[in-house]
Structure 1
């Protein structure tokens, strides 16, 4: 089985994430895409993150009923902060018959040199890169494992923008799945008032 791995904080998961996942499934030979929720990304401030279990639950709600997309909590079982290279090694041992592909936005790919063992990631793992606004990953060192998909949908939507809108009391309808929106309000996440 060939599985694409989209790592992220998913703070919150939104339709931009899901659109690119659907692209990979429709246009490539991937059998599944796993959304790997990172409980503690070493490159992001912890205080901006909703609790890990809340973010995982939102990913579960967003992917519910889709047999080709699977939420993954693998990093919840590993030491924190989460490092992609360690998670990939763990997955390779746990699923020896699976072929994994790391799916990255061009913003994340451009920062690979700053990642723990980023050079090893480039050498050993298939990396498929999709475009993100304002980010150019084409300057990465050449690698036979690196593949660019400029035709992948570029949806200029960010979790940062969604959180900002929520703090301002503005609507995020059509930016996140309706089940995720309802969950955010029900749980009082990102400065919203919990529903009673």
Structure 2
């Protein structure tokens, strides 16, 4: 019998690679809110990021799966890799509502994305059907005017770690084994990623 009526948090990202900041933030959120699970939605290509820096989606999915395999409240979702590109959040949400009508979905975003939320394609459709959890990001204070009943702030710890710096460090021969899960560091090494 399927698990019915779960509140699922959706954490969108390139995860190029997934790092301890992603995982610690998601862990803190799922353990301290009404969310039952968090699904990591792997994005095929963010239009605002350099495609040449992006490793193959299968590698990014594999690294995520390795990093969360022992924690039942996390799942990897590759739905955006199967949809038309560019991927728009409203289209992803329509597909998730269709394929998982038994669940409720809450979208997790950083405070850096909050001021732009209402400019997303079909933003009102997204906001009407789903709630949002906003977590703090460095140098991006939250404007109360951007909040509503559907958009709530969650005071999670700030993890100022980014995948870009990790990739650059690996390329420069840095041993960054403590910035990513051990399984992910081994996977990066074995597959000669980000060199």
User: CA distance change for structure 1 residues 140 and 181 in 2, over 3 Å: closer, same or farther?
Assistant: farther
Match of 2:96 in 1: 91
Q: Conserved in 2, the CA contact under 8 Å of 1:110 and 1:139?
A: no
Match of 2:168 in 1: 164
Match of 2:87 in 1: 82
Moved more, 139-148 or 157-166: 139-148
Q: State yes or no: 1:115 paired with 2:123.
A: no
What is the distance in 2 between the residues matched to 1:74 and 1:179?
A: 24
Deviation string for 1:1-48 (max 9, x for gaps)? Answer: 110000000010001111111111210111111001011222322111
Relative contact order higher in (CA < 8 Å, ≥ 6 apart): 2
Match of 1:136 in 2: 141
Q: 2:52 aligns with which of 18, 28, 47?
A: 47
User: CA distance change for structure 1 residues 140 and 34 in 2, over 3 Å: closer, same or farther?
Assistant: farther
Q: Which runs of 5+ in 2 are unaligned?
A: 1-5
Q: Conserved in 2, the CA contact under 8 Å of 1:2 and 1:32?
A: yes
Match of 1:10 in 2: 15
Q: 2:33 aligns with which of 28, 34, 42?
A: 28
What is the distance in 1 between the residues matched to 2:28 and 2:177?
A: 22
Q: 2:178 aligns with which of 169, 174, 177?
A: 174
Deviation string for 1:70-123 (max 9, x for gaps)? Answer: 011111111112111110110011111101000111123333244323344334
Deviation string for 1:30-67 (max 9, x for gaps)? Answer: 11110010112223221111111111111111111211
Q: TM-score, normalised by structure 2?
A: 0.91
User: CA distance change for structure 1 residues 137 and 82 in 2, over 3 Å: closer, same or farther?
Assistant: farther
Q: Conserved in 2, the CA contact under 8 Å of 1:123 and 1:143?
A: no
Moved more, 1-10 or 79-88: 79-88
Deviation string for 1:139-174 (max 9, x for gaps)? Answer: 663422000012x01111011111111111112121
RMSD between aligned residues? 1.6
Q: How many residues align?
A: 190
User: CA distance change for structure 1 residues 26 and 142 in 2, over 3 Å: closer, same or farther?
Assistant: closer
Q: Which runs of 5+ in 1 are unaligned?
A: 192-196
